[in-house]
Amino acid sequence: MQNPGTGTRQGGSLAVSCEDLSFSYPGSGRPALSGVSFTLSKGEYVGVVGPNGGGKSTLVRLLNGLLRPDSGRVCVSGHDPATEPFEVRKHLGILFQNPDNGLVAPFVEDDVAFGLENLGVPRPQMGEKVAGAIRAVGLEGYERREPHTLSGGEKQRVALAGLLAVEPEILVLDEPTSMLDAAGRMEVLERFEALRAEKTVLHVTHHLEELMNADRILVLNGGELVADESPQRLLSDAGLLWANRLVLPVVPRLALELGLPATLGTPEDLAEAIFARAR
Amino acid sequence: MTSLGQFYPVASPVHDLDPRAKILATAVLVVGLFLVDSTAGLLFVAAALAALVALSRIPARAFLRLLRPVLLIVALTATFQVLFSQEGATVFEWGFLEVHTGGLRLGFFLALRILLLVGVAGLLTATTAPVALTDGIEDLLSPLKRMRFPAHEVAMMMTIALRFIPTLGDEAEKIKGAQAARGADFSEGGPMRRARSLIPVLVPLTVGAFRRADELAEAMESRGYRGGDGRTRYRELRFRARDALALAFTVLVLLVGVLL
Amino acid sequence: MRLELKDVRHVYGAGTPFEVEALRGVSLSVEQGEVLGIVGGTGSGKSTLVQHMNLLLAPSSGKVLVDGVDARSVKKSGLRRRVGLVFQFPESALFAPTVEEDVAFAPQRLGLDEEQVRERVGESLRALGAEDLAGRSPFALSGGEKRRVAIAGVLAMGPEVLVLDEPTAGLDPATREELLALIRNLRTAGISVVLVSHDLDEVAEVADRVCALHRGRVRAVGTPAEVFYGEPAQAPATVRVVSLLRESSPGIGAPVRFDETLAALRSLG
């Protein structure tokens, strides 16, 4: 393991802690996760990257009790998802990859209310919470739309509204943009950025450019946590990137080749740096 | 674009009724129509239904389109009656085919009854949002919970089915297109061959549906779903005076129909 | 072969209140042996357009010409063989118990004998780097493997034009790069490729020509440099960087691909 915990924000209490987590799927010879430990402080925005089969989705499912670890322990807002899954699910919401398969109800507002219904929230309080969540993702006027008539980005925003309605402190985003086109991705990423101030976020993705502003990035490969780095250090470590099948986006790749820092994320940043250097 | 069982979203007094009142009224009519044994009685019920359709603000043409899918069945049933009934005076003969007045009457009667059955059910689904429909069914079935009947689960299954029917429909179209691009032909050959040609569509559709079901189950669980106990409902059902009136009106219409 | 669309319009649900005009008069050609990139946002008509290329959708008006001949006058099965269409997320149509049998579906429909079918299956799996998957179940493969097998299933018809609708959607970046390399190989093998993609960076790397669609119309068509420098706000990252520097360094040129761009930026010193 390389530089464990570099960049961890000091102070603040823990939102999530994982201790020495191991998990194997029944009938599989190779563990899906082995000996994974890390913590999320309240208010942190942490990315998770790594190749397919590296353990990312297993980790996500251990965090809310969809799976239980073979050994090790998870603690989410003071609760263990293996023994109190329903308590944990009030505090931690997961946004999955394919919104098409996560929306339950035939209308947008009914779907947003689904989590509240499950928690037994009294009806008089529901209307306001549903309306608030729909506003938070910018879908006012979509209340009576049917999910199958929405674009991918809109569906994912409905799914996000469904999570926000129950007001969890922690959001886990499980490759939420991988099924979306460029416009849908932008639309959804904007919402995540807006949530940063109030939530603790764990964002699993294949796209490093989505994590340029993250506090830390965890790299999972072969079921092990192989790095826990700041974006600056991860993006500049060509060997680490290559070993984990991570591909740098075009702008940081150009920047590195030109001997500039890899954290120049946008074309504007890079052009400015080149212009400044040429003068 | 309306088809059988599709919700027609406009505002009307009929749309506004409690779904439970509409479900009960529909059930009463569907059963009761088998007790109406005169054409005059059926025509009376038909007139009442026409009045309700007008009240529901669904354009008559859109409503009649609802009936189109069953026209073939209606035509077949009526033709059988017309051709095989020997009652009454002979209207005309052609070879071994004989048409009698009794046959004509019976054919018309049966055709009208089927159309009314479909029309009544169609009015229910056209004026009731799918979620309201399942909420209503859950509520009506809930007394059975004491007999361990899974009323909530049945309603949840219906809700999910309603949510995913259009999604799976789109998916089926897409897969058909993909196989057509690989040279599949769904219109060639006899019925057996056509059925076989659907295998490359049905297999991936089923595999996909199972994958969706898995993901949906994970998403539902993650959102705290744990069955019907302790659950509240977003949609409110309120049985008001006019719902009782609507139900009473239905029973009245049916009684007149039976007596006529 | 040369494929040409002439003033193609397409209206969904014509005559109903839900009528949508997806294509509003599109004229476009696919030249022999080129990679044509088609870009545009949601609702631009990309997916509708490609389904006209093998007449899976018929134009509401306008014509599709194959080597100058109206495609409606040639046999549909023949057209679909010559123009292979790979839908978005094509792995959702995999159905056979083994990869081999799945890829054999199309050549069998063509009425080839067993020997020829086997040859076609082998060739197309090799072209997609999937030959060692032949005996596996398509449902047990990884996302990237499924995608390659599904493309092989269309390639096995032996098409002259291969139309790929968002072939890299949902793949991780490393798998995407591998697939793009395979697409470049197809062109080397003499097959014309139509690459529909919302990812401008990937179109920039592989396309010989680019067609930009906007709301059912062709906004621009030409070389990648012509199209992307014509509208730098909707261009790949390379073009956006360079176009910001053009004012101060007019000699920088109009590079589009990554290596060209890097060379041009280095020359600025």
Tell me the percentage of chain C whose pLDDT exceeds 70.
99
> How much of chain A is helix, strand and coil, in % rounded to 5?
40, 20, 40
- Provide the shortest C-alpha distance from residue A254 to chain C (in Å): 6
Q: How many CB pairs under 8 A join A and B?
A: 96
CB contact under 8 Å between C92 and B208, yes or no, is: yes
Residue C95 has pLDDT above 50, yes or no: yes
Q: Which pLDDT belongs to residue B2?
A: 40
Q: Per the structure block, which two tokens stand in for C188?
A: 């080397």
The top-scoring range by mean pLDDT among A39-43, B33-37, B92-96, B225-229 is A39-43
Q: Choose among A182, A246, A278: nearest Cβ to C199.
A: A182
Amino acid at residue number C134: A
Residue B147 has pLDDT above 50, yes or no: yes
Reference A236, options A215, A212, A203, A220; nearest CA is A212
pLDDT in tens, A114-173: 999 999 999 999 999 999 999 999 999 999 898 888 999 999 999 999 999 999 999 999
A interface with B, Cβ–Cβ < 8 A, is 61, 64, 66, 85-86, 89-90, 93-94, 96, 98, 100-107, 109-110, 113-123, 126, 130, 144, 146-148, 159, 162-163, 166
Q: Which pLDDT belongs to residue A149?
A: 87
Q: Which residues of B touch A170 (CB under 8 A)?
A: none
CB contact under 8 Å between C245 and A249, yes or no, is: no
Q: Which residues of B touch C94 (CB under 8 A)?
A: 204
Q: Which pLDDT belongs to residue A11?
A: 43
CB contact under 8 Å between B181 and C86, yes or no, is: yes
Q: Which pLDDT belongs to residue C35?
A: 96
CB contact under 8 Å between B163 and A166, yes or no, is: no
The model's confidence at residue A231, banded by pLDDT at 50, 70 and 90, is very high
Q: Which pLDDT belongs to residue B23?
A: 94
For residues C240, C246, C252, C257, the Cα torsion angle rounded to the nearest 10 degrees is 10
Q: Which pLDDT belongs to residue B5?
A: 63
Q: Per the structure block, which two tokens stand in for A77?
A: 């807002």
CB contact under 8 Å between A206 and C173, yes or no, is: yes
Alpha carbon of residue C3 to chain centroid: 14
Mean pLDDT of C15-37: 89
Predicted interface score ipTM higher than 0.85: yes
Residue C242 has pLDDT above 60, yes or no: yes
- Supply the DSSP string of B157-226, one letter for each residue: HHHHHHHHHHHHHHHHHHHHHHHHHTT--SSSS-HHHHHHHTHHHHHHHHHHHHHHHHHHHHHHHHTT--
Q: Which residues of C touch A264 (CB under 8 A)?
A: none
Residue A4 has pLDDT above 70, yes or no: no
CA distance C4 to C27: 8
The model's confidence at residue C227, banded by pLDDT at 50, 70 and 90, is very high
Chain B: touching chains (3 or more CB pairs < 8 Å): A, C
Q: Which residues of B108-117 are buried (b: 16+ CB within 10 A; e: fewer)?
A: ebbbbbbbbb
Mean pLDDT of A54-74: 96
Q: How many CB pairs under 8 A join B and C?
A: 62
* C81 in reach of chain B (CB within 8 A): yes
CB contact under 8 Å between C244 and A52, yes or no, is: no
- Contact between residue C107 and residue C143 where contact means Cβ atoms under 8 Å apart: no
The model's confidence at residue C16, banded by pLDDT at 50, 70 and 90, is low
Reference A158, options A199, A81, A103; nearest CA is A103
CB contact under 8 Å between A275 and C245, yes or no, is: yes
Q: Which pLDDT belongs to residue C70?
A: 94
CA distance C204 to C210: 9
What is the dihedral sign for C-alpha A5, A7, A12, A17? negative
Mean pLDDT of A38-56: 94
CB contact under 8 Å between C174 and A270, yes or no, is: no
Q: Which pLDDT belongs to residue B84?
A: 80
Q: Choose among A52, A206, A271: nearest Cβ to C241.
A: A271
Q: Which pLDDT belongs to residue A12?
A: 52
CA atoms within 13 Å, Cβ hemisphere of A15:
23
Residue A60 has pLDDT above 50, yes or no: yes
- Contact between residue B102 and residue B81 where contact means Cβ atoms under 8 Å apart: no
Tell me which of A140 and B131 has the higher pLDDT: A140
Phi-psi region of C44 (alpha: psi -120 to 50; beta: other; left: phi over 0): alpha
Residue A1 has pLDDT above 60, yes or no: no
Mean pLDDT of B126-136: 85
**Model-wide pTM > 0.90:** no
- Provide the shortest C-alpha distance from residue B58 to chain C (in Å): 15
* B208 in reach of chain C (CB within 8 A): yes
Q: Which pLDDT belongs to residue B210?
A: 93
CA distance A78 to A263: 35
**Chain A residue closest in CA terms to C89:** A179
Mean pLDDT of A72-99: 95
CA distance C93 to B177: 9
Residue A117's alpha-carbon distances to A105, A213, B6, B151, in angstroms, are 12, 35, 26, 16
Q: Which residues of B touch A60 (CB under 8 A)?
A: none
Mean pLDDT of B37-43: 92
Q: Which pLDDT belongs to residue C17?
A: 65
Range in A14-28, A64-78, A133-147, B177-191 the model is least confident about: B177-191
Mean pLDDT of B164-190: 88
CA distance A74 to A61: 11
CB contact under 8 Å between C172 and A52, yes or no, is: yes
**Chain C residue closest in CA terms to A184:** C42
Range in B16-25, B62-71, C181-190 the model is least confident about: B62-71
Beta strands in chain C (DSSP E): 3-12, 20-30, 35-39, 61-66, 69-70, 83-86, 161-165, 192-196, 209-214, 217-222
Arithmetic mean of pLDDT over chain A? 91
Q: Which residues of C touch B201 (CB under 8 A)?
A: 95
- Provide the shortest C-alpha distance from residue C109 to chain A (in Å): 32
* First-residue to last-residue Cα distance in chain B: 37
Residue A10 has pLDDT above 50, yes or no: no
Sequence-separated (6 or more) residues with CB below 8 Å from residue A112:
A130, A133, A134, A158, A161, A162, A165
Arithmetic mean of pLDDT over chain B? 87
**Chain B residue closest in CA terms to A125:** B234
- Mutant choice from A254, A256, A264, A268 vs C, greatest count of C C-beta within 10 A: A254
Residue A5 has pLDDT above 70, yes or no: no
Reference C37, options C226, C190, C265, C174; nearest CA is C226
Tell me which of B8 and C187 has the higher pLDDT: C187
- Provide the shortest C-alpha distance from residue A161 to chain B (in Å): 12
Chain C: touching chains (3 or more CB pairs < 8 Å): A, B
